[in-house]
Amino acid sequence: MLEVLNHPLITHKLTQMRSKDTGTKDFRENLDEIAELMAYEVCRDLPTQPVDVETPIGPCVGYELSKEVVIVPILRAGIGLLDGIRRLVPTAKVGFIGMYRDEKTLEPHEYFAKFPKDLDKSVVMIVDPMLATGGSAVAAIDAVKKRGANNIKLVCLVGVPEGVRAVQKAHPDVDIYLAAMDEKLNENGYIVPGLGDAGDRIFGTK
Ligand SMILES: O=P(O)(O)OC[C@H]1O[C@H](OP(=O)(O)OP(=O)(O)O)[C@H](O)[C@@H]1O
Ligand SMILES: O=c1cc[nH]c(=O)[nH]1
Ligand SMILES: [Mg+2]
């Protein structure tokens, strides 16, 4: 399943992020707001179970979330999506996977991994602003599957068809959510038009 949200509020904020004139503070704030808006859509099909509740007027059957949610940002840039999603799912647990892309080969390299227990019983949301070649996302999904995850959503801001195809080929069971689908990759593996290097723009490292 691939869902490209294309929501006017998200597109407006993403347009501000795309501008090369947008500084670190506004870039981060827009990303945080988009994460919250995306979370609302991504959570639409979370499983629920009936629960008996006594209101001040009488008994009723309500519904509560029946599975833990585990958010897994791909370090570094994925951190920019974490707080916005957690505002909507404050009980979510958080796992981390550190991944950098070799600038020449574009191959992902894992340098850190720490996950909560029971990934096999949870809905696992892997989050990263950029889905370029798809190498980092595929490797992150491999890592959580190795630890038992079987209900996985990949949440990215900007993707390209190459990256989506790579994830769908390696992990056809994973639902993919994008705020926008861009055109292509350039010769350096950057998304065109994209928004540049997300990690550098979030953390001011360029
Ligand atoms: O789809 P891919 O071709 O794998 O590229 C996407 C990855 O590249 C960026 O991370 P980067 O390696 O720049 O690390 P950073 O988050 O520390 O900046 C981005 O945040 C993704 O993780
Ligand atoms: O366009 C891109 C591609 C990979 N990583 C980024 O941060 N931006
Ligand atoms: Mg980067």
CA–centroid distance, residue 187 to ligand 2 (Å): 12
Domains of the chain, each with CATH number or no CATH? 2-44+67-203 (3.40.50.2020)
Question: pTM here?
Answer: 0.97
* Closest by Cα among 147, 137, 130, 139 to 191: 130
CA–centroid distance, residue 130 to ligand 2 (Å): 6
- Residue 129 assigned as binding residue: yes
> Does residue 206 register a pLDDT over 90?
no
For 108-120, the pLDDT digits (tens) are 999 999 999 999 9
- Residue 197 assigned as binding residue: yes
User: To test ligand 2's pocket by mutation, which of 136, 162, 197, 200 has the most ligand atoms within 8 angstroms of CB?
Assistant: 197
Closest ligand 2 atom to Cα of 197: 7
Band of the pLDDT at 141, cuts 50, 70, 90?
very high
Q: What separation in angstroms does the CA of 21 have from each of 117, 169, 171?
A: 42, 37, 37
Q: Is 126 helix (H, G, I), strand (E, B) or coil?
A: strand
- Residue 132 assigned as binding residue: yes
For 40-97, the pLDDT digits (tens) are 999 999 999 999 999 999 999 999 999 999 999 999 999 999 999 999 999 999 999 9
ipTM of the complex, rounded to two decimals: 0.98
CA–centroid distance, residue 62 to ligand 2 (Å): 43
